[in-house]
Amino acid sequence: MTSDPTKLDGNTETARFAGLRFEDFRRMAEDSSLNIYEKIGFPKEFREGHEERIFSDILTKVETLTKCHKRVLDVGSGCSELPRLIIRHCVEREHELVLLDAREMLDMLPDERCATKIAGRFPDDCYELTSHVKDGFDAIIVYSVLQHVFLEANPFVFVDSLMALLRPNGGLLLGDIPNVSKRHRFLSSDAGVAYHRAYLRTNGLPEVKIDQIEHGRITDAVILGLVERARTAGFDAFVLPQPAELPMANRREDILIRRP
Ligand SMILES: C[S@@+](CC[C@H](N)C(=O)[O-])C[C@H]1O[C@@H](n2cnc3c(N)ncnc32)[C@H](O)[C@@H]1O
């Protein structure tokens, strides 16, 4: 496995942590041989030392998080430093926070008075959420989760169910979405080729499969389809880039949905 988090050969992301579904995460959460990053499906190099910057980026995108006394939902919280930063921020801002993931993941996170942990798979198996919805949430964070939902559920139903929980002026961030079309665009550019050659120490060209369906991978069509769906449902929706310094910015992007 490479120690370079920006390497684009695909091996690091696709081999060891490929095709992870909710039940895989549940199992990984209990596997004591894995560190907190591996438990959420990332080689340590992709997350360790990067999560403060990831959270700062989330704060610039979901404005309501920077206010006080808001209602916040984090779907697919995981167990690394990122949900801990979210919890600390919510304590400081006196937000009411709901963390939603498998029980095994949530058990690894600290307990705070402002935070309610709800175990289950969104939207179908988290019955307890109903009593915590009240009139919805001002901020919903779904970071690095959509690609896993995409493997086992209808992403439109998933996003529709999230939008239904958004209060007026609320923001829903579907963050850190690996977009294979974006990855191919980058690898087809001079910069992408130079990048590939530098990191693989090769003179070869990267493999770019633009005319083939890659099953289980999110493409431009999925991203733009979700944006169109949100807009049709009366929300504002945008595709946003990640700051270049984030480790997977050259192949991932975010969708921000706001309820007017
Ligand atoms: C790649 S991890 C991301 C964790 C965290 N959001 C982060 O970025 O550090 C994906 C997480 O989403 C959770 N997950 C996957 N599908 C889910 C679903 N349908 N409902 C709730 N959680 C889900 C997994 O259990 C896992 O903890």
75 C-beta closer than 6 A to ligand 1:
yes
Which of 22, 25, 34, 145 most suits a substitution to test ligand 1, by most atoms within 8 Å of the C-beta?
145
Q: Whose CA is nearest to atom 15 of ligand 1?
A: 22
Give the start-to-end residue ranges of the domains of the chain. 50-181+211-258
Is the previous residue joined to 5 through a cis bond, with omega within 30 degrees of 0?
Answer: no
Q: Which residues of the chain have pLDDT under 50?
A: 1-13
46 C-beta closer than 6 A to ligand 1:
no
Cα 51 to ligand 1 centroid, rounded to whole Å: 15
Give the pLDDT confidence of 155-204 residue by residue, as tens digits. 999 999 999 999 999 999 999 999 999 999 999 999 989 888 887 888 88
Q: What is the pLDDT of residue 4?
A: 43
Q: What is the pLDDT of residue 244?
A: 95
Q: What is the CATH number of domain 50-181+211-258?
A: 3.40.50.150
118 C-beta closer than 6 A to ligand 1:
no
Contact 203, 197 (CB under 8 A): yes
Cα 102 to ligand 1 centroid, rounded to whole Å: 8
